[in-house]
Amino acid sequence: MNAKPLLKLDQVSCVRGGRLLFERLSLMLAPGGAALVTGPNGVGKSSLIRLAAGLLRPAGGHVGRVCALALADEGLALDPRLTLGRALGFWARIDGTRAEAGLEAMGLARLAQVPVRMLSAGQRKRATLARAIASGAPLWLLDEPANGLDGDGVERLASAMAGHRAKGGAILAASHLPLALDGAAIVALA
């Protein structure tokens, strides 16, 4: 592929709490591309996602991004007292988009009027994914996106990811559950 990569990790090393998690990891994501980070718990999957997001500094190497990114991780980041629609709307306003597309894609449209604190764990997970879908960012960073999702949720996630890649987006996902990412590069941390 000749297209300019959306995300480029060049010989990246990560040290957390004085412990080396991984070193000299290189990865490139072109438009339409995807990479799946696998490995047992505590091996540094989430740290890799946070490194790619720019929230952690690499101990060595270089992280390059050329576009806006959407992060869906363990952090709900929605005000519990607001309704789901308004809480997602806050982020959509910052992104300059509308939250409805994300709500629709994750099957949350009928929960838009429900306060965030009433949502179940699976619905919260859907909400974090809906925020990423609605953001319009070309690069998605998904940390355990399938955790807590039911069958319908996993299917919706798969179709959202396929649609995103078809539009030229790229996805970096970390998961210990199987994800429907056709042709994704596998990054196995051990």
Partner 1 sequence: MSALVLRELRLAATGGNASLPVIFFLLVATLFPFAVGPDAPLLARTGGGALWMAALLAALLPVDRLVEPDRASGVLDQLAVRGVSEEHVMLAKLAGHWLSFGPPLMLAAVPAAALMKLPREVLMRLELGLLAGTPGLAALTLIVAALTAGLRATGALAGLLMLPLAVPVLIFGAGLIEQGGNMGALKLLAAVSLLLVAMAPFAGGAAIRTARD
Determine, following the binding rule CB under 8 A, whether residue 150 of this chain makes contact with partner 1.
Answer: no
Size of the site for partner 1 (CB under 8 A): 24
Helical H segments across the chain, by residue range: 45-53, 84-95, 100-105, 121-135, 151-166
* Minimum distance, C-beta of residue 28 to partner 1, in the bound complex (Å): 20
Contacting residue, 71, 99, 149, 173, with partner 1 by CB under 8 A: 71
Q: Are 142 and 129 in contact (CB under 8 A)?
A: yes
> Of 25 and 69, which CB lies nearer to partner 1 in the complex structure?
69
> Of 95 and 100, which CB lies nearer to partner 1 in the complex structure?
95
Tell me whether residue 7 is exposed, middle or buried, using C-beta atoms within 10 angstroms of its C-beta: 0 to 12, 13 to 18, 19 or more: buried
Q: What is the spatial distance between Cα 180 and Cα 34, in angstroms, rounded to a whole number? A: 11
Contacting residue, 62, 74, 117, 155, with partner 1 by CB under 8 A: 74
Residue located via tokens 């990811």: 161
Which CA distances in Å does 17 have to 46, 47, 56, 109?
Answer: 14, 12, 12, 41
* Minimum distance, C-beta of residue 3 to partner 1, in the bound complex (Å): 22
Interface with partner 1 in residues 41-70 (CB under 8 A)? 53-57, 68-70
Residue located via tokens 């994704």: 184
Interface with partner 1 in residues 113-142 (CB under 8 A)? 131, 141
Determine, following the binding rule CB under 8 A, whether residue 20 of this chain makes contact with partner 1.
Answer: no
**Site residues, partner 1 (CB under 8 A):** 53-57, 68-71, 73-79, 81, 90-91, 93-95, 131, 141
